[in-house]
Amino acid sequence: MSKQGDFEAVRKDIAALLKQPGYDDGSAGPVFVRLAWHSAGTYDAETDTGGSNGAGMRYEAEGGDPANAGLQHARAFLESVKEKHPWITYADLWTLAGVVAIKEMGGPTIPWKGGRTDYVDDSKLPPRGRLPDAAQGADHIRWIFSRMGFNDQEIVALSGAHNLGRCHSDRSGFEGAWVNSPTRFSNQYFRLLLSLQWRKKILKNGIVQFMNYDEDTETELMMLPTDISLTTDPSFKKYVELYAKDKDRFFEDFSKVFDKLMELGIVRDASGAVTNADNVKGGYHS
């Protein structure tokens, strides 16, 4: 067992857990990133509810939300880290796992601070329906992310995370990966959005997504309707173009915006200590 607050020790154990030969593309990294984002993306700025405090996915009302299907795998992988470092809250562990995974997969360093608390019961869970619906378009994602306090540029920068991982027909109903190296963080997603021909395809389950066949690698890549909307909306498109040609700028902006996402609902004092932990009753206090 590590000393309370030794986040370095936790980071090392998360990094050691990423390689999972029998799972998806051989890495738990992408599903950790999705867990981190879904743990925070319930934030509603107007009512100051939801966000990365609480780790509400431990409860059925949030964990069993169809929008969170598949994230039980990420939570199960991370259980061994929680057992080894029982002092860490789940809310800190899940956000830290996303940040460590991005770095280990070749992405930018993302500032991260601990101090989140876990709900002690399910009385304060955010309502379902706050996470985005991939079947929709630009207006929908602008509405969902502006509710969390993000502008157009930040929405596009965040979207680069779809460079990682894949869709699963038994989770979201969509199928396939966005890029050929889905465990390597880069700006490839933006380049492919602009350079390939994306054709609408109706899957056997009736779900509509966009597909491209790559002759070099003989693989089929995919885009969600929401991904394609980043190229059809002129305000979004100019940032897709920016990040497609400037990888350093993408890494820099992504680091800031992913940090902002992980901090949703968290209030800190000048020393970085979380001051709104009372919202969630109990939990870990550093």
- The catalytic site residues sit at 38, 178
Interaction between residue 279 and ligand HIF (CB under 6 A): no
Give the number of other Cβ atoms within 10 Å of residue 250's Cβ: 25
Interaction between residue 31 and ligand HIF (CB under 6 A): yes
Q: Which of 51, 165, 176, 265 binds ligand HIF (CB under 6 A)?
A: 165
Residue 188's closest CA among 209, 150, 217? 217
Binding to ligand HIF (CB under 6 A) within 50-89 occurs at: 70
Interaction between residue 159 and ligand HIF (CB under 6 A): yes
* Distance (Å, whole) CA 37 – CA 263: 11
Q: What is the three-state SS of 198-216?
A: CEEEECCCCCEEEEEEECC
Q: Which is nearer to ligand HIF, 77 or 119 (CB)?
A: 77
Return the residue nearest ligand HIF (CB atom).
165
| Structural contact between residues 141 and 229, judged by C-beta atoms closer than 8 angstroms | yes
Q: Which of 78, 93, 96, 158 binds ligand HIF (CB under 6 A)?
A: 158
Binding to ligand HIF (CB under 6 A) within 103-142 occurs at: 132, 134, 141
Please give the backbone phi and psi of residue 135, each rounded to the nearest 5 degrees, phi first: -80, -10
Interaction between residue 30 and ligand HIF (CB under 6 A): yes
Work out how close the CB of 20 gets to ligand HIF at its nearest, in angstroms, rounded to a whole number.
11
Sequence-distant (6+) residues with CB within 8 A of 215 are none
Q: Which is nearer to ligand HIF, 34 or 116 (CB)?
A: 34
Sequence-distant (6+) residues with CB within 8 A of 245 are none
- Mask 224-243, x = binds ligand HIF (CB under 6 A)? x-x-----------------
